[in-house]
Homo-oligomer: A and B are copies of this chain.
Amino acid sequence: MTDISEERAQRHKARMQNRKAVQDAEVAAKTVEKGLLIVNTGPGKGKSTAAFGLALRMLGHGRRVGVVQFIKGVWQTGEREAFSAFGERVVWHTMGEGFTWETQDLERDITAARRAWDKARELIGDPALSLVVLDELNIALRYDYLDLAEVVDTLRNRRDDLHVVVTGRNAKPELIAAADLVTEMGAVKHHFAAGVKAQPGIEF
């Protein structure tokens, strides 16, 4: 039992009936079904994590998912292991060579990015996949390792019902223009600033 007066409860009910009418009208007005081009960008945490959460949601509907990682690292080892529970319904390719300050080799970075993009195009062309995650593609685009116009063109011309998620900081304006859904993850507060180290299950 709570301590709500009858009057307050009635006022709440009337307000919520109005709200529901507005809500129902809005839902009814949305009729388009299409594969979305989704971009998760910004300096905050959660860009790749949300992309993998979306992959999980797709898997929950019995669909198949493809992943290309443009930057390798210790990162995402947790997801990769977890996705193995879904067997061949997840196609996972780690094509990158680590962060640029790890390889210290520009030519190697560019070659790796181009190889990753070839794989991405292959997955985008695979009719069995419902979602393709292009993890950290924005990094490869930012450093001009790939031809931006060709990437955007390929993404725009994918089949109608294929969802694609692109992650990474500093998404290019041309990619944002082509996207259906763009989220900017902003860092309000970060534990690294308080001296907390990368921990299993959180960062990797």
Tell me whether A189 and B176 are in contact in the complex, defined as CB-CB below 8 angstroms, given that A60-B80, A79-B53, A100-B16 are known contacts: yes
Interface string of A1-33 (1 = CB under 8 A from B): 010100011001100110110010001011111
Q: Are A45 and B183 in contact (CB under 8 A)?
A: yes
A56 & B36 in contact (Cβ 8 Å cutoff): no
Complex contact A30–B196 (CB within 8 A): yes
* Interface membership of A77, Cβ < 8 A: yes
Option from B78, B130, B192 in Cβ contact (under 8 Å) with A201: B130
Q: Which residue of B lies closest to A143 (CB)?
A: B12
A203 to B154 alpha-carbon distance, docked (Å): 25
Residues of B within 8 A of A8 (CB): 106
Total interface residues on A, CB under 8 Å, equals 89
Q: Known contacts being A104-B20, A192-B30, is A46 close to B56, with CB within 8 Å?
A: no
Q: How many identical subunits does the complex contain?
A: 2
Determine if A13 and B54 form an interchain contact, defined as CB atoms under 8 angstroms apart: no
Given A12-B100, A36-B191, A180-B189, 9 other A-B residues pairs in contact with their CB atoms under 8 A? A2-B110, A8-B106, A46-B46, A46-B53, A53-B54, A60-B80, A60-B83, A61-B78, A85-B86
Report which A residues bind B (CB closer than 8 A). 2, 4, 8-9, 12-13, 16-17, 19-20, 23, 27, 29-34, 36, 39-42, 44-46, 48-54, 56-61, 63, 76-83, 85-86, 99-107, 110-111, 130-131, 163, 176, 179-192, 194-202, 204
Interface pairs (26), CB distance under 8 Å = A9-B105, A12-B104, A17-B104, A19-B100, A30-B192, A31-B197, A33-B196, A33-B199, A36-B196, A39-B188, A45-B183, A46-B50, A46-B53, A49-B54, A53-B79, A56-B78, A58-B201, A60-B79, A61-B201, A82-B86, A85-B85, A180-B194, A181-B189, A183-B188, A184-B188, A185-B185
